[in-house]
C-alpha cells in the first residue's frame, strides 16, 4: 500500500530478540513473527524467515541452520539482521512502493552508541528512507496508553526475549533506568538446564518454551498443574516421556525471576522521592511477553509492596508505542506534545495468562 500522496509509509518496528512486530500507521500491527532465519550454509542463501524458519529449529540437516540474528536485544549477525529486516519491510508494504518508508526502531535502554548505530545502519540498508531510534521503555509506556508527558512518575518493566528494561519515566523522558540481559530466552535456558540436571533429560528450545507457556511459574500456584513432554534420555540416549509439574518450573525459574525483582527494587531505590510516591499510587506497569509468566506480577508486588499491572496486549505494547511515536513525528509535533492525545487509553489488568508470546 502506498503512503499518503506518495510520501511513503510510516513504520514502527519492535526488533525483538525473539519476535519482530511491524506497525503501520493507520493499520496497526501487520506482522508478528519470530526473529529466526534459516540459511543454506553451502550456498549462503536464505531459505526461510519468521514462523517458517522457527519450525525448522532443531530439525534441520547439516547444510541448513536456523539462527536468531539478535541476542540480548542487540544485533549479533549484522548481515542476516539486514536481510531479515528487508524481508519483513517488503512483506509489510510490498515491493511496489516507489518511496522508501520512514521507520522507527526500538532498542534496549542500555545499548551502546555502536550497537545503536548498527541497528540504524541495518534498518537503512534494509530499505528505510529515514530511521528514528526509540528506547524500549518509552515505546512500551506509550503503547500501554500512559501519558508520559506529565510531571508524574511512571514505572515500566518491559520483559522481552533478550532483555528486561526497567525505567521510571516523567515529562517524556527517562529519569532512572536499568537493563538486564535476563528475559524470556533465559527462562527457556533455565528450564533446559533444570531438566538436564534433575531428570537427565535433554529437551529442545521449543519444548522448553511450551513448558514456560503452559506451566511456567514465578509465584506459587494455588492449584499445581502438569505437562507431559518428550526429550532424550542422557543415559540411554533414547526418547523419553516425562510429566513435569508447575512446582518444578517454579524451582527452575527462581534465579532469573528474583534477579528481575532485585533490579526493580534497585531502580526504586534510585528514584527521587516525589516520583517514587507517584509510582506507589499508580503502580508498576508490566509489558512484553515475559510479563505473562504466571505470577511474576504477584512476585514483584510481594517484593516491593507496590501493585503491579500487566498492560493490555502487553506483547504488542512496544511495537504500538514505536508506531505511535513515528505517527506523531510525521505530524511534526514537539517532544512533549508527542505523548498527549485527546483520548487517553486506560491500562487494563489482565486475567492470569494462558500463553506467552514473546
pLDDT higher than 50, residue 253: yes
Tell the residue number behind the cell numbers 514456560, with chain if given: 212
**Would the annotation count 291 as a binding residue?**
yes
**Would the annotation count 212 as a binding residue?**
yes
What local confidence, expressed as pLDDT, does residue 101 receive? 86
pLDDT tens string 20-36: 999 988 888 999 999 98
Question: Residues 6 or more apart from 248 whose CB is under 8 A from it?
Answer: 194, 198
**Would the annotation count 147 as a binding residue?**
no
Pull the grid cell for residue 78. Answer: 549484522
pLDDT tens string 152-201: 999 999 999 889 999 999 998 899 999 999 999 999 999 999 999 999 99
**Would the annotation count 136 as a binding residue?**
no
pLDDT higher than 60, residue 347: no
What local confidence, expressed as pLDDT, does residue 356 receive? 47
Confidence of residue 217 (pLDDT cuts 50, 70, 90): very high
Q: Do residues 224 and 247 make contact, with C-beta atoms less than 8 angstroms apart?
A: yes
**Would the annotation count 163 as a binding residue?**
yes
Distance separating alpha carbons of residues 358 and 172, to the nearest angstrom: 26
63 Cα distance to chain centroid: 30
% the chain with pLDDT above 90: 58
**Would the annotation count 289 as a binding residue?**
yes
**Would the annotation count 321 as a binding residue?**
no
**Would the annotation count 207 as a binding residue?**
no
What local confidence, expressed as pLDDT, does residue 167 receive? 95
HEC string for the chain:
CCCHHHCCCEEEEEECCCEEEEEECCCEEEEEEECCEEEECCCCEEEEECHHHHCCCCCCCCCEEEECCEECCEECCHHHHHHHHHHHHHHHHCCCCCCCCEEEEEECCCCCHHHHHHHHHHHHHCCCCEEEEEEHHHHHHHHCCCCCCCCCCEEEEEECCCCEEEEEEECCEEEEEEEECCCHHHHHHHHHHHHHHHHCEECCHHHHHHHHHHHCECCCCCCCCEEEEEEEECCCCCEEEEEEEHHHHHHHHHHHHHHHHHHHHHHHHHCCHHHHHHHHHHCEEEECHHHHCECHHHHHHHHHCCCEEECCCHHHHHHHHHHHHHHHHHCCCCCCHHHCCCCCCCCCCCCCCCCCCC
Residues in the chain: 358
Least confident of 37-51, 191-205, 276-290: 37-51
pLDDT tens string 137-156: 999 999 999 988 888 999 99
Amino acid at each position: 500500500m502506498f503512503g499518503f500522496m506518495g510520501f511513503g509509509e510510516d513504520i514502527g518496528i519492535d526488533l525483538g530478540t525473539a519476535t519482530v512486530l511491524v506497525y503501520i500507521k493507520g493499520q496497526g500491527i501487520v506482522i508478528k513473527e519470530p526473529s529466526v532465519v534459516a540459511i543454506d550454509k553451502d550456498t549462503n542463501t536464505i531459505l526461510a524467515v519468521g514462523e517458517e524458519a522457527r519450525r525448522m529449529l532443531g530439525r534441520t540437516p547439516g547444510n541448513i541452520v536456523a539462527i536468531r540474528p539478535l541476542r540480548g536485544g542487540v544485533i549479533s549477525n549484522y548481515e542476516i539482521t539486514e536481510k531479515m529486516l528487508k524481508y519483513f519491510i517488503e512483506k509489510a508494504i510490498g515491493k511496489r512502493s516507489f518511496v522508501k518508508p520512514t521507520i522507527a526502531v526500538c532498542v534496549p535502554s542500555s545499548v551502546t552508541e555502536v550497537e545503536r548505530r548498527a541497528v540504524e545502519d541495518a534498518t537503512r540498508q534494509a530499505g528505510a528512507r529515514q530511521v528514528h531510534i526509540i528506547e524500549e521503555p518509552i515505546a512500551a509506556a506509550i503503547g500501554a496508553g500512559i501519558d508520559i508527558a506529565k510531571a508524574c512518575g511512571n514505572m515500566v518493566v518491559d520483559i522481552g526475549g533478550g532483555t528486561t528494561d526497567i525505567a521510571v519515566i516523567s515529562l517524556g523522558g527517562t529519569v532512572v533506568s536499568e537493563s538486564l540481559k535476563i528475559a524470556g530466552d533465559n527462562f527457556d535456558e533455565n528450564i533446559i538446564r533444570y531438566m538436564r540436571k534433575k531428570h537427565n533429560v535433554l529437551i529442545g528450545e521449543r519444548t522448553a518454551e511450551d513448558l514456560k507457556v503452559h506451566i511456567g511459574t514465578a509465584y506459587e500456584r494455588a492449584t499445581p498443574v502438569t505437562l507431559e513432554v518428550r526429550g532424550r534420555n542422557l543415559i540411554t540416549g533414547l526418547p523419553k516421556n516425562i510429566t513435569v509439574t508447575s512446582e518444578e518450573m517454579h524451582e527452575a525459574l527462581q534465579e532469573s525471576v528474583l534477579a528481575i525483582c532485585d533490579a526493580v527494587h534497585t531502580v526504586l531505590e534510585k528514584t527521587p522521592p516525589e516520583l517514587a510516591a507517584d509510582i506507589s499510587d499508580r503502580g508498576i506497569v508490566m509489558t512484553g511477553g515475559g510479563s505473562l509468566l504466571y505470577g511474576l506480577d504477584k512476585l514483584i508486588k510481594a517484593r516491593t509492596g507496590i501493585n503491579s499491572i500487566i498492560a493490555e496486549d502487553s506483547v504488542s505494547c512496544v511495537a504500538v508505542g514505536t508506531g505511535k511515536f513515528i505517527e506523531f513525528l510525521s505530524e511534526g509535533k514537539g517532544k512533549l506534545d508527542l505523548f498527549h492525545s485527546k483520548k487517553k487509553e486506560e491500562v487494563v489488568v489482565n486475567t492470569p495468562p494462558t500463553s506467552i508470546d514473546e
